[in-house]
Amino acid sequence: MLNLFEPRFPRQERAQLTAAQRDALVAAVEHGYYRIPRDIALEDLADSLGISRQAASERLRRGIEQLVTTVLIEPENV
């Protein structure tokens, strides 16, 4: 079983998020976007970041994909 608290890869090999992806992901967590039910709608999150709804959606999706691919998926399965 994978222990999420102990990274499998050295720091330099972990997910390489863009600053924009990191900012969007951090803001999403801080504003409760991932809570059930959500505390903030995507459009409101986008407004808080000063970007369009589509740009916010793309940053979140690409950032999450990068994190999952790097941290949770074995390299040979990518």
Domain boundaries, the chain: 36-78
**Residues 39-50: what's their mean pLDDT?**
98
Among the residue ranges 5-19, 26-40, 41-55, the one predicted with the least confidence is 5-19
Q: How confident is the model at residue 9 (pLDDT cuts 50, 70, 90)?
A: low
C-alpha distance across the termini of the chain, in Å = 19
pTM greater than 0.85: no
CA–CA separation, 65 and 24 (whole Å): 13
pLDDT at position 73 is: 81
Percentage of the chain beyond pLDDT 90 is 67
Convert 25-44 into a string of H (helix), E (strand) and C (coil): HHHHHHCCCCCCCCCCCHHH
**Residues 7-26: what's their mean pLDDT?**
77
